């Protein structure tokens, strides 16, 4: 590996002009030690930094690059769209085709509104739920992250959790009092909170598979029980599928668990990695959105033609494939089993959670089922492990509390290289 001279210089310069030198907190490497690498190029399964070091990359822009980096069909679609202008601020035929495809792939979505990010999608969905029900309160789950909207920065996961800031300054008491938090996977506690706030809860928002306290799966019957509680109490159930949408199945996590939410939020996978989001669901709820209804939400760049072209190219490839999810699951399982064999050989305490192409290694011997058990992980050991994996040519997400996202670009040969890098890294930190 080349010494990260250029990355170091860029980081030093960036700190003079960008808060913390980065435009998103987890990128700062504070949780794993050292300074961030600055990336200049990626193709397929590989990412290259400014010092020309190449890595096998296992988080794929935090999930959306399910087909690998710089997919040719997506790149060609973007190039063609750019020729017609970068933005119109007016309707396009591509928006209609994109909406039709999303509704066809996700049965719970009858109408959909395009936005510019997952955060914008979740903020809009909560506002819509409040407007539709006439209620103020919402319930979220400890360790679930739904973007940086004020309502969500209460017991959030991911970067907030990594930096030890479960609540953010700037979130008012008024906002906080309307956000109720419940432990993930605790249906009894959820019911208690609903009963204690009878006829006041507008929405429950949940990552059906949590990805921001590491990959954390719902217990058997948990999502179904949540659906029943919402039906019994007139509460809008929102599945935040910014990470899981079109990654776990063509219908997302709701397709895997066979539970239909009232609203679904989607993220950048629907733009092939470009800044895109969407929220959609039942017609009678979505018809409350302006200009059809009274709940206001707007955006000049919503349905941006370049992003829509990229998204159509991405989703069309996924929709055409008969085996993409089986192939991804098999590849990820091979990585998981290789890691487990290495950990068992060295006698290291660990937990691994996986579903489809999402997988996390936790440095704890507790079963990780919620925020508290995720926090039992040895974050110092993870930092050492992250740096050793990087030294061995594998780029992991720089936080114990993030998920690995595997792409179709990971071949059998690369699985072998990843597992061997894992073995070498674990030996170093053992």
CA angle in degrees (0–180, nearest 5) for 287-293-296: 110
Catalytic residue status for 296: no
Q: Name the active-site residue from 49, 137, 140, 240.
A: 240
Q: Name the active-site residue from 30, 111, 140, 268.
A: 268
Q: What digits encode the pLDDT tens for the residues 121-177?
A: 999 999 999 999 999 999 999 989 888 887 777 654 444 433 333 356 777 777 778
pLDDT, position 165: 36
Give me the average pLDDT of each 10-residue run along the chain (430 residues). Answer: 94 96 90 94 97 96 95 97 94 96 97 96 96 96 86 57 50 80 95 95 97 96 98 98 97 98 95 94 98 94 94 96 97 98 96 98 97 96 97 96 96 98 96
What 173-179 contacts at long range (C-beta under 8 Å, 24+ apart), as own/partner pairs, is 175/150, 175/151, 178/136, 178/137, 178/138, 178/151, 179/137, 179/138, 179/140, 179/151, 179/152, 179/154
Output the CATH code of domain 5-70+323-429.
3.90.1150.10
Looking at the DSSP bridge assignments, the partners of residue 360 are 353
pLDDT, position 163: 36
Catalytic residue status for 350: no
pLDDT, position 428: 94
Q: Name the active-site residue from 145, 325, 350, 385.
A: 145
Q: Under DSSP, is residue 55 helix (H, G, I), strand (E, B) or coil?
A: strand
Give span(s): CATH 3.40.640.10, the chain: 72-320
In this prediction, what percent of the chain has a pLDDT beyond 70?
97
pLDDT, position 26: 85
pTM of the model: 0.95
Give span(s): CATH 3.90.1150.10, the chain: 5-70+323-429
How far is Cα 369 from Cα 361, in angstroms, rounded to an integer? 13
In sequence order, what DSSP letters do the residues of 322-360 get, joined into one string? Answer: SSHHHHHHHHHHHHHHHHHHHHHHHT---EEEEETTEEE
For domain 72-320, the CATH class is alpha beta
pLDDT, position 158: 44
Peptide bond into 351 cis (omega under 30): no
In this prediction, what percent of the chain has a pLDDT beyond 90?
87
CA 50 to chain centre: 26
pLDDT, position 426: 97
Catalytic residue status for 231: no
pLDDT, position 166: 39
């Amino acid at each position: 590996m080349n010494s990260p001279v250029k990355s170091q210089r860029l980081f030093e310069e960036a700190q003079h002009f960008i808060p913390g030198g980065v435009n998103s907190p987890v990128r700062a490497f504070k949780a794993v030690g050292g300074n961030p690498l600055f990336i200049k190029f990626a193709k397929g399964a590989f990412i290259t930094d400014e010092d020309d070091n190449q890595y096998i990359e296992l988080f794929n822009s935090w999930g959306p690059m399910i087909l690998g980096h710089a997919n040719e069909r997506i790149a060609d679609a973007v190039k063609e769209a750019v020729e017609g202008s970068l933005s119109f601020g007016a309707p396009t035929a591509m928006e209609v085709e994109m909406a039709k495809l999303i509704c066809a792939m996700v049965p719970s979505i009858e109408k959909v509104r395009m936005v510019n990010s997952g955060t914008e999608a979740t903020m809009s969905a909560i506002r819509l739920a409040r407007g539709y029900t006439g209620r103020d309160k919402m319930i979220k789950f400890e360790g679930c992250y739904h973007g940086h909207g004020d309502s969500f920065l209460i017991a959030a996961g991911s970067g907030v959790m990594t930096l030890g800031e479960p609540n953010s300054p700037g979130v008012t008491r008024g906002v906080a009092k309307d956000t109720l938090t419940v432990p993930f996977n605790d249906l009894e506690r959820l019911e208690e909170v609903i009963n204690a706030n009878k006829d006041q809860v507008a929405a429950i928002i949940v990552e059906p598979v949590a990805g921001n306290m590491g990959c954390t799966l719902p217990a058997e019957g948990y999502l179904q029980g949540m659906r029943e509680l919402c039906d019994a109490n007139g509460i809008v159930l929102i599945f935040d599928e910014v990470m899981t949408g079109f990654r776990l199945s063509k219908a997302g996590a709701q397709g895997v668990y066979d539970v239909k939410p009232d609203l679904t939020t989607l993220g950048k996978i629907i733009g092939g990695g470009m800044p895109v989001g969407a929220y959609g669901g039942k017609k009678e709820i979505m018809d409350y959105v302006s200009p059809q209804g009274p709940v206001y939400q707007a955006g000049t760049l919503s349905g941006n033609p370049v992003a829509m072209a990229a998204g159509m190219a991405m989703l069309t490839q996924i929709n055409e494939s008969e085996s993409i999810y089986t192939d991804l699951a098999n590849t990820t399982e091979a990585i998981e089993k290789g890691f487990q064999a290495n950990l068992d050989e060295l006698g290291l305490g660990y937990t691994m959670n996986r579903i489809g192409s999402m997988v996390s290694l936790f440095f704890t011997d507790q079963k990780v089922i919620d925020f508290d058990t995720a926090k039992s992980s040895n974050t110092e050991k993870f930092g050492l492990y992250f740096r050793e994996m990087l030294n061995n040519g594998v780029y992991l997400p720089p936080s114990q509390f993030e998920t690995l996202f595997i792409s179709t670009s990971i071949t059998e040969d690369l699985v072998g290289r990843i597992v061997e890098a894992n073995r070498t890294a674990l030996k170093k930190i053992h």
